[in-house]
């Protein structure tokens, strides 16, 4: 069996070791220590736009804290993009709130502004309280933020940007994650950079950063004994993980360059194959990190279905994956209200993510190409 080609494996640079070593040498082996603050600083200077970052254990915990910061409580509703990973929506349920799912539009594959406004009006007419909007930049592609922000402003609903997949992507020259009221990032093993597992909350003010840090470290009041006036969480990133993150920040730009170059190679290859359409930036306002390269398969034209292609690649030990199954089709969310057309459902049926790692070799790429050609 040939060696497995993974969809999006971790890509370490070697620079991580120095930071981990210093954590061990200084005995900061805890969810506190210099690497955490340094990692936050590195993120803040990379993101710019007066962003204040809080390093956490996961992107999921960052979304949970964002909802808590916005006062989301039992019975409230949160509008969430349906076409996403379940982690975008699960924390809504942790809060006892109700997710309401919104379909995507075909250009960015992200939240459809028209359906968003329709949903807001309908929920309001039903007497519901909408506390937040969660918009996702899927596969690194920025959502239609101008339209979404204008609607959010009109109805005075805060926006949480799930930029878990979009570190380094920009919309009209501005970093994804800094465009909403709060943003989140993920550093899971498969993301554009990793801390082995981790995430960050991106705030607009120092005060929000301090408050969310406080919540993430068990909400301890300042007192010599342990005193608590609020429910806290154990969500802080460890100093070891943050060390991996510090090393990864030094190569983030290289990772983005590599993923974009790989996307370009796929683009050239598929331009010769009728029936395969590669997911592309709608116009120059959108700059994607191309975390994952995604294709849409026209079974009529290609002569093979998405599943035919996936299984064919799998036989050659090449990992690929169907696009996200929309949340409104998930058994666990079968009771949730939704406002959808056919966009996400169609993408789920026809779409496939291809190996996209920043460490994918040219030999790997050749194998992938040959595997596609051997379909015919
Ligand atoms: C990975 C991911 C998350 C969750 O991040 P974790 O760090 O794995 O908890 C949330 N939303 C999206 C869109 C993701 O891809």
Q: Confirm or reject: Cβ of 304 under 6 Å from ligand 1.
A: no
Full-prediction pTM beyond 0.85? yes
Residue 366 has pLDDT above 90, yes or no: yes
Compute the distance from residue 85 Cα to the ligand 1 centre, in Å. 7
Residue 119 has pLDDT above 80, yes or no: yes
Ligand 1, residue 63: give the atom nearest the CA. Answer: 10
Q: Confirm or reject: Cβ of 183 under 6 Å from ligand 1.
A: no
Summarize pLDDT for 62-100 with one digit per residue, the tens. 999 999 999 999 999 999 999 999 999 999 999 999 999
Compute the distance from residue 25 Cα to the ligand 1 centre, in Å. 32
The share of the chain scoring above pLDDT 90, in percent, equals 98
Compute the distance from residue 50 Cα to the ligand 1 centre, in Å. 23
Average pLDDT over residues 220-228: 93
Ligand 1, residue 136: give the atom nearest the CA. Answer: 13
Compute the distance from residue 18 Cα to the ligand 1 centre, in Å. 27
pLDDT category, 16, cuts 50, 70, 90? very high
Ligand 1, residue 62: give the atom nearest the CA. Answer: 9
Compute the distance from residue 303 Cα to the ligand 1 centre, in Å. 34
Q: Confirm or reject: Cβ of 60 under 6 Å from ligand 1.
A: yes
Q: In this predicted structure, what is the pLDDT of residue 5?
A: 98
Residue 218 has pLDDT above 90, yes or no: yes
Please determine, looking at this structure, whether the domain spanning 253-375 carries the CATH number 3.90.1150.10: yes
For the chain, the average pLDDT equals 97
Q: Confirm or reject: Cβ of 185 under 6 Å from ligand 1.
A: no
Summarize pLDDT for 289-322 with one digit per residue, the tens. 999 999 999 999 999 999 999 999 999 999 999 9
Summarize pLDDT for 97-113 with one digit per residue, the tens. 999 999 999 999 999 99
Average pLDDT over residues 248-258: 98
Q: In this predicted structure, what is the pLDDT of residue 1?
A: 81
3-state secondary structure the chain: CCCCECCCCCCCCCCHHHHHHHHHHCCCCCCCCHHHHHHHHHHHHHHCCCCEEEEECCHHHHHHHHHHHCCCCCCCEEEEECCCCHHHCHHHHHCCCEEEEECECCCCCCECHHHHHHHHHHHHHCCCCEEEEEEECHHHCCCCHHHHHHHHHHHCCCEEEECCCCCCCEECCEECCCCCCEEEEECCCCCCCCCCCCEEEEECCHHHHHHHHHHHECCCCCCCCCCCCCCCCECECCHHHHHHHHHHHCCHHHHHHHHHHHHHHHHHHHCCCCCEEECCCCCCCEECCCCCEEEEECHHHHCCCHHHHHHHHHHCCECCEECCCCHHHCHHHCCCCEECCCHHHHHHHHEEEECCCCCCCHHHHHHHHHHHHCCC
Q: Confirm or reject: Cβ of 88 under 6 Å from ligand 1.
A: yes
Q: Ligand 1 test: best mutation among 84, 89, 135, 186, most atoms within 8 Å of CB?
A: 186
Instruction: Give the fold, CATH level 3, of 16-251.
Output: 3.40.640
Q: Ligand 1 test: best mutation among 94, 135, 162, most atoms within 8 Å of CB?
A: 162
Q: Confirm or reject: Cβ of 186 under 6 Å from ligand 1.
A: yes
Q: Confirm or reject: Cβ of 87 under 6 Å from ligand 1.
A: yes
Q: Confirm or reject: Cβ of 81 under 6 Å from ligand 1.
A: no
Average pLDDT over residues 241-264: 98
Q: In this predicted structure, what is the pLDDT of residue 376?
A: 84
Q: Ligand 1 test: best mutation among 60, 108, 138, most atoms within 8 Å of CB?
A: 60
Average pLDDT over residues 207-224: 96
Q: Confirm or reject: Cβ of 57 under 6 Å from ligand 1.
A: no
Q: In this predicted structure, what is the pLDDT of residue 49?
A: 77
The domain locations on the chain are: 16-251, 253-375
């Amino acid at each position: 069996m040939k060696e497995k080609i993974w969809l999006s494996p971790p890509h370490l640079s070697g620079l991580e070791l120095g930071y981990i070593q210093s954590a061990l040498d200084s005995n900061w082996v805890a969810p506190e220590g210099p690497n955490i603050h340094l990692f936050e600083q590195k993120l803040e200077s990379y993101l710019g736009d007066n962003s204040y970052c809080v390093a956490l254990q996961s992107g999921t915990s960052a979304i949970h804290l964002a909802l808590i910061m916005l006062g989301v409580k039992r019975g409230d509703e949160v509008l969430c993009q349906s076409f996403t990973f379940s982690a975008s929506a699960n924390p809504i349920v942790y809060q006892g709130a109700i997710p309401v799912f919104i379909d995507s539009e075909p250009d960015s594959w992200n939240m459809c502004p028209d359906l968003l406004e329709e949903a807001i009006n309908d929920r309001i007419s039903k007497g519901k309280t909408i506390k937040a909007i969660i918009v996702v930049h899927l596969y690194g592609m920025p959502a239609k933020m101008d339209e979404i922000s204008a609607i959010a402003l009109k109805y005075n609903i805060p926006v949480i940007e799930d930029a878990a997949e979009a570190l380094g992507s920009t919309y009209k020259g501005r970093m994804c994650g800094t465009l909403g009221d709060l943003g989140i990032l993920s550093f899971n093993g498969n993301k554009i950079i990793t801390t082995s597992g981790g995430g960050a909350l991106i705030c607009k003010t120092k005060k929000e950063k301090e408050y969310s840090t406080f919540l993430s470290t068990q909400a301890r009041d300042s007192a010599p004994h342990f005193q608590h006036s609020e429910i806290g969480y154990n969500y802080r990133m460890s100093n070891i993980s943050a060390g991996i993150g510090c090393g990864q920040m030094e190569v983030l730009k290289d990772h983005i360059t590599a993923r974009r170059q790989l996307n370009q190679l796929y683009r050239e290859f598929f331009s010769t194959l009728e029936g395969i359409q590669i997911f592309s930036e709608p116009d120059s306002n959108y700059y994607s990190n191309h975390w994952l390269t995604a294709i849409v398969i026209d079974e009529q034209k290609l002569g093979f279905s998405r599943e035919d292609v996936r299984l064919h690649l799998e036989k050659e030990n090449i990992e690929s994956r169907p696009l996200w199954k929309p949340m409104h089709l998930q058994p666990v969310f079968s009771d949730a209200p939704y406002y959808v057309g056919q966009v996400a459902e169609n993408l789920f049926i026809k779409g496939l993510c291809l190996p996209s790692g920043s460490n994918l070799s040219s030999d790997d790429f050749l194998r992938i190409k040959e595997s596609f050609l051997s379909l015919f």
